[in-house]
Structure 1
């Protein structure tokens, strides 16, 4: 797929995320897609394997985030047409009444027009503080291991 199409898919990632359109957002990912958070807080799972695990994580996030806003995003094309880099800031209004605001660098690796890998860099201290007042264990409870089967 041409890089222009992958850039459009990266834009669609943010459009569907801000609209909290979970089916549309999840549809951007390959069935075997991975998500990585290299700078993750303690107790928070750094990787999600497969579209279902990524969907589960975002479903949990949408339960905590009343609104999702991103400024920008600034999208950078690379010499590899299947890699897109995005720099953005996000501000999520939380169901607790607080806000979660962070700066993100996201790398998207595409395969056949679908996101095969989403690698997200963020400040984990801001993530923990906004969602739990600094308690990393509570964050792990809010977002359990998405790679485990969901409880029935």
Structure 2
């Protein structure tokens, strides 16, 4: 039977447990602002895209959601007044999403507190060299042909 070395097992399980712990803690902190991590990521992705927003298909790709999952989250955020969806100006068949003014304001309020939590729960526990090492490693796992 195939097995992992003790060090490999610690590395793998450590990653899984660290991800789970960080995700739950950061997600719980965002609930005070009636958001969760996927919603926060969607809002920041739209902010980075600028005032024109993004096509829904591109947004789904960037936030790693299925079309249906993105639609449900977008419905919720639109109902809260944080995003708007409209027909694409260049292609009437497609839809695009953009932050509303209310979405920009909410993101501004939440952003600083969230980044402080990311720093306290993750970055402050690493040396600058470890942070640089991790930043260089993650792209290896984002390749589609893995």
Task: Give the TM-score taking structure 2 as reference length.
Answer: 0.29
Task: Give the TM-score taking structure 1 as reference length.
Answer: 0.28
The answer to which structure, 1 or 2, has the higher relative contact order (CA under 8 A, 6+ apart) is 1
Structure ranking higher in helix proportion: 2
